[in-house]
A and B are shown apart, each in its own frame.
Chain A
Amino acid sequence: MRKVAMGLILPAVALIIWELSAINADNAALVPRVGAVIGQLIHPFSDLMGTGSFIRHISFSAVRVIVGFFLAALLGIPLGLWVGRFSRIRQMVNPFVEMLRPLCPIAWIPFALAVFKTTTVADIFGFHYTSSIFGHIQLGMLFVIFYGGFFPVFLNTVHGVQSVKNMHIEQAMLLGAGRKKLFRHVILPSAMPSILTGLRVGLGIAWMVIIAAEMMPGSDAGIGYLIMYSYELAEMDVLLASMVWIGVVGMALGAGLKMVSDKYTFWQARER
Chain B
Amino acid sequence: MSFNLLVAVSLLYVGFLFLVAFLAERRAKSGAGRWLRSPMVYTLSLSIYCTAWTFYGAVGYAARSGLEYLTIYLGPTLVLTGWWLVLRKLVRVGRAQRITSIADLISSRFGKSNTLGVIVTLLAVVGTTPYIALQLQSVTLSLEVFAEASPRTIAGPQEGNAFWVAAGLALFTILFGTRNLDANERHHGVITAIAVEAVVKLVALLAVGTFVTWGIAGGVGDVIARIETSPLAEWELHPSRWAGLIFLSAAAVLCLPRMFQVLVVENADEAHLATASWAFPLYMLLMSVFVVPIAVIGLERLPAGSNPDLFVLTVPLSEGRGGLAMLAFLGGLSSATSMVIVAAIALSTMVSNHIVMPLWLSRQRVGSAMVAGDVRYVVLRARRISIGGVLLLGYLYYRFSGGSEALAAIGIISFAGVSQVLPALLGGLFWRGATRSGAIAGLLIGFTIWVWTLFLPSFGAAGPMSASLLAEGPLGLGWLRPEGLFGIDGMDPLVHSLFWSIGLNTLALCTVSILSFPSPLERLQSAQVVNVFDHTVGAQGWARGSAEAEDLLMMAQRILGADEAQDLFRKQAEAQGKVGQLPDTTPEFVSDLERDLSGSVGAATAHAMVGQIVGGSSVLVEDLMRVADEAQQILEYSSQLEEKSEELAHTARQLRDANEKLTALSVQKDAFLSQISHELRTPMTSIRSFSELLREGGLAAPDQARFSLIIHDEAQRLTRLLDDLLDLGVMESAQVSLNLGPARLPDLLDRAIAAAATEGQLTIRREPDREDYELVTDGDRLSQVFINLIANARKYCDSPTPELTITVREDGGDLVVDFVDNGAGIDEKSRAIIFEKFVRLTDTASAGGAGLGLAICQEIMARLGGDVAYLSDRGGAAFRVRIPREASAVAAAG
Pairing of A with B = no
> Which of A's residues lie within 8 Å of B, judged by CB?
none
